[in-house]
Structure 1
């Protein structure tokens, strides 16, 4: 979905605008985009609904037990987790709902690795987190589809602030900028979906970011597969946890905009080897090097 000019530079500006008007973050963003793109709010919502359908579809495609990435390094993770959710007593330690949410996140990420159509939210490497959260809310908790679609606008508005103030690219800020931002966006969306306040949505994003601050980007063989796919799974768990903490009334104490600035400072201080270059972390372990040779041959 194309995004028009965005006028908010901080999360708090968005929160204040919503609180002053008595509206949700999503309402503010929908109106802002409709005006900027000279179209109706209904058209903006319809286009976001198309993106939500892509999210649904990629969780189905990626759950195919025979689907593999072109490298051959990954595939089947989503299928295995969803099968486990169905077969394990009580759906596993996390329970059926959360286990299936993780399974959907893995499926969407596998679909991406296998060159399927996904929604980069905010990036392809973190594409499983929002579907894992919102598709699960829609399909397993019976949340209204339009409410889920509207919640995506809240996620998008918060993500645009992060992209403007800090970064959503692993090459600039490490995986904290990708999965960390996606998890924060999802947490904010979940809060709105549960009827939480704009301030609680902001707090949820801050909690999610704090819990992934410093996460490096170290893709094995330089591919968005290992450990990226599994980090989408943990991002889902952090998003749900952050949302429930915020909804319970727990205060982060550090304003979300300061968390975002801190994330940028941490990313700026990361060595280049830990910023999507496959020059450090898991990419340079003995097994990581062998996997690279398996895909590309010896240097």
Structure 2
């Protein structure tokens, strides 16, 4: 016959085993949350959980939080709140990781309402982040549009003749309608600008008349600013000129690998096509400005 002591011992063992399973379950929730957010840093908190009385007229409560890596339990008490006049900003919380919680508290924090609330809080926080990111993208897009309009005005003022303007317009418009073909037009426009520069400067065209070689030939003719002195300063200017040459190389590479110039069903995103087009526009403005300076200087000699 089972004694009362043995029955209670058996019940206590079952309680301990069940609580251990609850701890494992909550640790699994922590792992799932960590994997779900993919390294996004955030701070989310679940609903309040009652932990019981801890003294005369003193009631302890807590809630789960998640920071993108760990679930922690923050706890306080009604007496602590009274000390801080119930001010949410000044409340003092004790923070514990799951491994530091007692088996009894683990069970209370693991209620269905508590677990659902921390999942919902994380989802809500990610939606907030997404909204902020989309807002930032819209603002950047608006800024880019303003920059593009300014670039258009600069180029229109520097370009003479409908040929250049037509090439630039085609390259610009194709970004949205046919990004891959836009790469062809952007590349062709840059080559034409470079040819124009070299012809106006009465300089020979390179043996290979592609964007990288044409841009390199143009940059080679750029003089150092008269105010530049010292090896370090000249090295910095050479880096700038090297960046312009890199635009020629990059534009040619994108045309080769992602445009429809060599046939095939090649695809490129609007973002990449717009980047190439913007860089080509910036380089073209600089090249035409330098050409204008050289021509004015020649007239004044």
TM-score (norm 2): 0.23
Which has the larger Rg? 2
Of the two structures, which has the highest relative contact order with CA contacts closer than 8 Å and spacing of 6 or more?
1
